[in-house]
Amino acid sequence: MPPVRVRFAPSPTGYLHIGGARTALFNWLWARQQKGTFILRIEDTDKERSTDASVQAILDGMKWLGLDWDEGPEVGGPHAPYFQTQRLKTYEAHADRLIEQGKAYRCDCSKETLDALRAIAQKEKRGFKYPGTCRDKHLPKGTPGAVVRFRMPSEGATTFDDLVKGKITTEHKEFQDEVILRADGVPLYNFGAVVDDIEMGITMVSRGDDHVVNTPRQILMYQALDYAVPVFAHLPMILGADKQRLSKRHGAVSVLQYRDDGFLPGALVNYLVRLGWSHGDQEIFTRQELIEKFDWEHVGATAGVFNPQKLDWLNQQWIKSTPLPELAAIVGHALLRRHQISPGPLLSPFIPLMQERAKTVNEIADAYAAYIEGDLPQKYDEKAVAKNLTQETKPLLLEARKLIEDGFEKGPHELEQSFRTLAESRGLGLGKLAQPVRVAVTGTTVSPPLFETIALLGKDKTLRRIDAALEKIQ
């Protein structure tokens, strides 16, 4: 078997979205498992819609997910350049060769003429196909406005064995002599992809299954160019909850949006792979396990609905198992991004308190900003204050304050015991005592365990907060 060479070939017309990311991911996993090469190629032949900002967004998305490429933008490689608009000479050379061999021809039918014919066909409810007007004209190179068309066979059929869909056969009569090169020398998708996949020695093409219909036509081009056709693997689409193709109205579809929303790249990767691939009952996979265990055999053929709740759960699992220094760095970034505050010395010790209860890193950053960083809580939840900081709880707060003042040094466990004893002597559960204190200390009713939070904040800060709370009580 020749070494595996796979590629991800996005068109830079927007950010890297969930669907594209999964395509890239499957290719990347295969390359890494097979010790092959993963190539990133930018298909920027649609000049109208391609932007440099999109290229950057895609690169950033890939990097965030940890999908490093061996050849492509920024890293270069033996087949550079990796931008299609910089490879025009290559397409021209291949097109010329096809023309010489009679496998393609120049056509100077105007777009307007063809559009008009297409409109008539549509009105009469019949399919439109290029009528072959220029098939035998043998227009010379340099004919003004001439495009190059590929001569499609009209007889027979092409079959290929897709790694995920199985055998797919298409009759040649479905095809028409499609344009492969525009008058300005910019290739169309099918041709550009085929030429580059040949030039770059691609052995397997894995992409979204919206491309299955292109595949037989591309195979015909591989054959016309005398090149062995690669193996194909078409991945099913990712759908929204309404079973429609995932799009903006389903919420976040940009990969980087998930970063900003507090997801771990490992969790997103884990989710995306499991959406369409399985390994028995296993749900959680490290990156290394994914590389080891991924196979095409267990890639499903059905479109999958993107389920944000499961992603949440996976992210939580990932947060739980992320080593502290790594998690602290990520939370630090979130803190800066969301609250414009740099991580202080309390951040690292605070994270273990949040690790079991946060679905996103943003929750950790937000909690830190809300009641750890400042002298007093940044804000008090009104309902919580109204319910817990009252005349009735004031005596309890005062007694709690005294317990903290006298017993802080003995540590959280001892403090908790003293709280229990107090609560018991009043005929109350610990909750009745702890909750007002929690509101006083954190400004909310929801926080990590109270005594550990107090221990983290320190005696002075805690007492000041209780004093501030007492003042809130009329």
Partner RNA sequence: GGCCCCAUCGUCUAGUGGCCUAGGACGGAGGCCUCUCACGCCUCAAACAUGGGUUCGAAUCCCGUUGGGGUCACCA
What residues from 344 to 383 belong to the interface with RNA (CB under 7 A)?
A: 356-357
**Selected binder of RNA within 301, 329, 336, 428 (CB under 7 A):** 301
**Selected binder of RNA within 22, 87, 151, 274 (CB under 7 A):** 274
CB closer to RNA out of 153 and 300:
300
Contact status, residue 60 vs residue 21, Cβ threshold 8 Å: no
Q: Is 248 a catalytic residue?
A: yes
Q: Is 388 exposed, middle or buried (0-12, 13-18, 19+ CB in 10 A)?
A: buried
**Selected binder of RNA within 449, 461, 464, 473 (CB under 7 A):** 449
Contact set for RNA, span 127-146 (CB under 7 A): 127-128, 130, 145
Contact set for RNA, span 164-203 (CB under 7 A): 165-171, 174, 178-179, 182-183, 186, 188-190
Instruction: Put residue 124 in one of left, alpha, beta given phi > 0 → left and psi -120 to 50 → alpha.
Output: alpha
**Selected binder of RNA within 151, 211, 250, 401 (CB under 7 A):** 211
Number of residues assigned to the chain: 474
* Catalytic residue selected from 47, 173, 248, 383: 248
Instruction: Write the single-letter amino acid at 289.
Output: E
Assess 386 for contact with RNA (CB under 7 A). no
Assess 283 for contact with RNA (CB under 7 A). yes
Assess 118 for contact with RNA (CB under 7 A). yes
Distance CA 196, CA 11 (A): 14
Contact status, residue 363 vs residue 264, Cβ threshold 8 Å: no
Task: State the binding string over 302-321 for RNA (x if CB under 7 A, else -).
Answer: xxxx-x-xx-xx--xx--x-
Strand-strand pairing, 304-305 and 104-107: unpaired
From residue 142, give the alpha-carbon distance in Å to each of 139, 147, 185.
9, 10, 11
- Helix, coil or strand: residue 358: coil
Contact status, residue 222 vs residue 198, Cβ threshold 8 Å: yes
**Residue ranges with strand state E in 26-103:** 37-40
Backbone angles phi, psi at 396, to 5 degrees: -65, -45
Question: At closest approach, how far in Å is the CB of 183 from RNA?
Answer: 6
**Under 8 Å CB-to-CB from 428, ≥6 apart: which residues?**
none
User: Which one-letter DSSP state was computed for residue 83?
Assistant: B
Q: Which residues on neighbouring strands pair with residue 122, listed in sequence order? A: none
Assess 430 for contact with RNA (CB under 7 A). yes
**Selected binder of RNA within 451, 462, 463, 465 (CB under 7 A):** 451
Does residue 343 have a cis peptide bond before it, meaning omega lies within 30 degrees of 0? no
Assess 156 for contact with RNA (CB under 7 A). no
Assess 123 for contact with RNA (CB under 7 A). no
Question: At closest approach, how far in Å is the CB of 107 from RNA?
Answer: 7
Question: At closest approach, how far in Å is the CB of 83 from RNA?
Answer: 12
Assess 110 for contact with RNA (CB under 7 A). yes
Cα end-to-end span (Å), the chain: 81
CB closer to RNA out of 4 and 148:
148
CB closer to RNA out of 153 and 431:
431
Reading the block at residue 419, the tokens are 């709280």
Question: At closest approach, how far in Å is the CB of 2 from RNA?
Answer: 25
- Stretch binding RNA (CB under 7 A), from 86-94, 123-131, 257-265, 321-329: 123-131
**Selected binder of RNA within 35, 89, 123, 243 (CB under 7 A):** 243
Task: State the binding string over 5-24 for RNA (x if CB under 7 A, else -).
Answer: ----x-x-------------
CB closer to RNA out of 38 and 277:
277
Question: At closest approach, how far in Å is the CB of 342 from RNA?
Answer: 26
**Selected binder of RNA within 60, 209, 399, 414 (CB under 7 A):** 209
Three state DSSP letters for 426-446:
CCCCHHHHHHHHHHHHHCCCC
Question: At closest approach, how far in Å is the CB of 126 from RNA?
Answer: 8
Give kind and range of the element (H or E) at residue 106. Answer: strand 104-107
- Name residue, tokens 């609560």: 423
**Selected binder of RNA within 435, 457, 465, 466 (CB under 7 A):** 435
Instruction: Write the single-letter amino acid at 313.
Output: W
- Stretch binding RNA (CB under 7 A), from 27-35, 131-139, 403-411, 428-436: 428-436
Strand-strand pairing, 304-305 and 238-239: parallel
Per rule CB under 7 A, count of chain residues that contact RNA: 84
CA 437 to chain centre: 42
Contact set for RNA, span 23-82 (CB under 7 A): 43, 45-46, 49
CB closer to RNA out of 183 and 376:
183
> Sheet holding 204-208: strands in order across?
37-40, 5-8, 204-208, 231-235
| Active-site residue list | 248
